[in-house]
Amino acid sequence: MLNANYLRGHFEKGHTFARYVEKGTADQISRWAGVHERIKLTEPQRKLLKSFTREMKVLVTSGLWCGDCAAQCPMIAKIADESGKIDLRFVDRDEHAELSEKIKINQGLRVPTVIFMAEDFEFLGLLGDRTLTRYRAVAAKQLGASCPLPGAPIPDDEIAGTVQDWVDEFERIQLMLRLSPRLREKHGD
């Protein structure tokens, strides 16, 4: 069960994006930094993210070796950096095996998997391994492998579409928080 205390324990063991990435090899750090540098949020995306009023906790299970993680986790980090209401942490999937087992997708240990929580660590939602844009791109390329090679070039339109998918998910969670009767009562709004 993904109860608040369980999730808080894993969240508190998590790392910021920079601290998580620095645990990688030189090649991994370079790949992740290269994608991070390419992420450019649009002005409407930035405005939306800055408008968030509810704090959310976000925990990402990942692998520094994973191509999908190298492609998407920097996007998630840029989104969190833009909003003052997203508290983001990363944990290694294999180091947090118990958690990874609880959040399997289609019986697989998928990464990245993002767990969205309220300010008090109450579970809100889970999105894992690829957004729709990313799935479409992988399917169109017919890679055959379940995970693209780390460092494989990512077209700009795929980056922009995947960033928008992630922004949309963060907005969905923010609206869920904003409209929550429990939190509206707590915050008097």
The H or E element containing residue 125 is strand 123-128
Distances (CA, A) of 124 to 47, 71, 175: 23, 24, 11
pTM: predicted TM-score of the whole model, two decimal places: 0.92
Residue 91 · residue 150 · CB < 8 Å: no
How many helices (H) does the chain have, and how many strands (E)? Answer: 9, 4
- CB-based burial label for 115 (10 Å; 0-12, 13-18, 19+): buried
15 pLDDT more than 90: yes
Which pLDDT tens digit goes with each residue over 62-85? 999 999 999 999 999 999 999 999
Q: Which domain holds residue 73?
A: 4-187
Which pLDDT tens digit goes with each residue over 85-121? 999 999 999 999 999 999 999 999 999 999 999 999 9
Q: Name the nearest CA neighbour of 169 among 31, 66, 72, 63.
A: 72
1 pLDDT more than 80: no
Which pLDDT tens digit goes with each residue over 106-164? 999 999 999 999 999 999 999 998 999 988 887 777 555 555 555 678 889 999 999 99
- CB-based burial label for 24 (10 Å; 0-12, 13-18, 19+): middle
Q: Domains in the chain: how many in total? A: 1
Which pLDDT tens digit goes with each residue over 20-58? 999 999 999 999 999 999 999 999 999 999 999 999 999
CATH code of 24's domain: 3.40.30.10
Selected residue with higher pLDDT from 11 and 136: 11
Q: Is the peptide bond before 112 cis (omega within 30 degrees of 0)?
A: yes
Distance (Å, rounded) from C-alpha 104 to C-alpha 101?
Answer: 6
166 pLDDT more than 60: yes
Q: How many CB atoms lie within 10 A of CB 79?
A: 24
